[in-house]
């Protein structure tokens, strides 16, 4: 199956826990303590420990890739980081939800506008991708 204009995509849900942040820090090399230390995060004025922005974007990308057909080709993918994702120190964490709408893009491509939320609030703005549909 290939991605076609008019398709409503998702929802895809991804839990984010503090353990996920530690694993992402190890994989990315981003050990900024605002991503694991409540004390440091609140001392610098944040509401709590924050998920890495690129981790949040990667989860949106995971949803996007699950909607593509085997011959579809991702041409571009970009977001604006509009609201931090605060991750509590519990086993549940927070749930990131990703939905999308496919529309006609330029040059025969499909444009996908993603909506990425936590608890109903957008955390990524201008999240969109261009896809070259497969044969």
Topology, domain 8-16+51-132: Thiol Ester Dehydrase; Chain A (3.10.129)
| HSE, side-chain direction, 13 A CA sphere, residue 119 | 8
Asked whether residue 3 carries a pLDDT value surpassing 90, the answer given is no
How does pLDDT run across 14-67, given as a tens digit for each residue?
999 999 999 999 999 999 999 999 999 999 999 999 999 999 999 999 999 999
Token pair, residue 50, equals 């924050």
Token pair, residue 55, equals 């981790």
Q: Parse the chain into domains and list their residue ranges.
A: 8-16+51-132
**Dist CA 125 CA 51 (whole Å):** 16
104: β partners: 110
How does pLDDT run across 69-118, given as a tens digit for each residue?
999 999 999 999 999 999 999 999 999 999 999 999 999 999 999 999 99
Cα pseudo-dihedral 57, 15, 96, 59, rounded to 10: 20
> What pTM, to 2 d.p., does this model score?
0.94
Closest residue by Cα to residue 64 from 22, 18, 9, 123:
9
**Dist CA 64 CA 11 (whole Å):** 11
Q: Quick one: pLDDT at residue 1? A: 64
């Amino acid at each position: 199956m290939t991605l076609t204009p008019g398709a409503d995509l998702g929802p895809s849900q991804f839990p984010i826990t503090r353990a996920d942040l530690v694993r992402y820090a190890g994989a990315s090399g981003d050990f900024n303590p605002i991503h694991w230390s409540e004390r440091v995060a609140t001392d610098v004025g944040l509401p709590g420990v924050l998920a890495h922005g690129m981790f949040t974007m990667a989860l949106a990308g995971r949803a996007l890739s699950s909607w593509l057909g085997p011959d579809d080709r991702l041409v571009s993918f970009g977001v604006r980081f509009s609201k931090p994702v605060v991750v509590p120190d519990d086993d549940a964490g927070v749930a990131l939800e990703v939905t999308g709408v496919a529309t006609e893009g330029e040059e025969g491509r499909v444009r996908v506008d993603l909506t990425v939320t936590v608890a109903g609030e957008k955390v990524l703005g201008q999240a969109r991708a261009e896809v070259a549909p497969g044969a």
